């Protein structure tokens, strides 16, 4: 960089955060903060889109730094990201694409270059990253989205949450699996099949395949947070009606998910036993979260899936159980329908995890 900074500045101009806008996934992080459920948002991205979505700075840990701030590599004087981008945009050929430090002490120095606070290869990660690692021990739920889990030490973070903490991966493909060389997470990796925990019914890990925006949207729909998410994405948008049981005017307590207290243990056991074959817990059990009770109402789960009238095919598909979609008594369905049903099941499991969690 010191010897030939122009290639980096050319790239920096293309990566200017002003050229991008937060996605539905970024707004989901803000919604979690609004719901007082976000403990920390760890990201490998350097584009500051979490900040642009309104997530509070103290909740964001940019493991590889970001364009939010810049500083002179000689005198270490700080420059805001906006100032850096402004200077960069004001440079036009034939002038060299270089941002020099404006401080008097650096005047005339060839190496007085201003560099965004992003981590170059071989550089140390930000101090905030290491100071925030202890937050993983306080997590009630870990959600991992859109990553290859190949770069360490970030890839190994999934293994630092408590052993009882549920972990959800929303991704285009399964990554970070225990025992897989390509996973990058080593022995603390995901175990979606429960191989290392005595069977799938004991696993704490949930895999939801698809784009993060699509799955986050479905997740918020099931949580009855859809209007709040869309309001963040489109501030001028008017709330929609979701039909009976899905009024979105006040979802702070998530009324569609019945939350039983500690005194209803017998009732919860009876409900779980009765619906063993049809509940999402039969495929993806919900590990116990200390101090929290989970949903034991199959009726509530049914409401989550039936906000609008369905077609005859869909109604028949839901007749035996609103959530048992991975299997059909009358015979196998095509692979696309089966995959969609499995994703719904996994999302419902995630809904219950999320509704009971305060530290993500």
Which are the catalytic amino acids? 64
72 is in an annotated binding site: yes
106 is in an annotated binding site: yes
Beta pairing partners, 170:
145, 208
In sign, the C-alpha dihedral spanning 283, 40, 356, 343 is: negative
User: In this structure, what token pair is assigned to residue 74?
Assistant: 């000689």
Question: Where do the DSSP E strands lie in the chain?
Answer: 41-43, 60-62, 65-72, 78-80, 114-118, 142-145, 167-171, 205-209
220 is in an annotated binding site: no
CA–CA separation, 322 vs 150, rounded Å? 37
- Nearest Cα residue to 173 out of 135, 227, 212: 212
101 is in an annotated binding site: yes
CB 194 within 8 A of CB 182: no
Helix axes 24-34 and 212-222, enclosed angle (nearest 10): 40
Label residue 243 left, alpha or beta by phi (over 0 means left) and psi (-120 to 50 means alpha): left
User: In this structure, what token pair is assigned to residue 166?
Assistant: 């549920």
User: What is the chain's percent helix, strand, coil content, to nearest 5?
Assistant: 40, 10, 50
Residues comprising the binding site for Zn(2+)? Answer: 72, 75, 101, 106
Residues comprising the binding site? Answer: 72, 75, 101, 106
């Amino acid at each position: 960089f010191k010897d030939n900074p122009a290639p980096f500045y050319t790239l920096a101009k293309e990566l200017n955060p002003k050229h991008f806008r937060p996605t539905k996934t970024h707004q989901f992080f803000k919604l979690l903060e609004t719901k007082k459920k976000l403990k920390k948002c760890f990201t490998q991205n350097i584009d500051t889109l979490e900040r642009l979505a309104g997530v509070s700075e103290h909740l964001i840990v940019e493991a590889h730094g970001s364009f939010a701030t810049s500083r002179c590599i000689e005198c270490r004087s700080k420059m805001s990201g906006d100032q850096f981008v402004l200077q960069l945009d004001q440079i036009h050929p034939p002038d060299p694409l270089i941002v020099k430090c404006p401080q008097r002490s650096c005047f005339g120095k060839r190496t007085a270059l201003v560099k965004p606070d992003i981590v170059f290869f071989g550089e140390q990660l930000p101090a905030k990253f290491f100071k925030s690692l202890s937050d993983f021990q306080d997590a009630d739920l870990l959600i991992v989205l859109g990553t290859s889990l190949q770069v360490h030490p970030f890839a190994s973070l999934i293994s630092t949450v408590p052993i009882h903490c549920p972990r959800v991966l929303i991704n285009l493909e399964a990554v970070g699996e225990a025992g897989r060389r390509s996973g990058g997470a080593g022995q603390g990796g995901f175990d979606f099949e429960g191989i290392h925990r005595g069977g799938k019914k004991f696993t704490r890990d949930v895999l939801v395949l698809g784009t993060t925006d699509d799955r986050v949207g479905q997740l918020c729909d099931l949580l009855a947070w859809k209007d709040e998410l869309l309001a963040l994405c489109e501030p001028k948008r008017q709330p929609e009606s979701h039909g009976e049981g899905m009024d979105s005017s006040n979802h702070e307590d998530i009324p569609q998910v019945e939350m039983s207290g500690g005194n209803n243990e017998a009732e919860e056991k009876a409900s779980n036993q009765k619906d063993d074959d049809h509940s999402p817990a039969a495929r993806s059990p919900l590990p116990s979260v200390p101090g929290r009770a989970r949903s034991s109402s199959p009726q509530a789960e049914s409401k989550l899936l039936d906000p609008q009238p369905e077609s005859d095919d869909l109604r028949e598909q839901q007749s035996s159980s609103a959530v048992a979609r991975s299997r059909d008594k009358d015979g196998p369905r095509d692979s696309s329908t089966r995959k969609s049903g499995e994703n719904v099941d996994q999302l419902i499991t995630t809904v219950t995890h999320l509704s009971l969690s305060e530290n993500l």
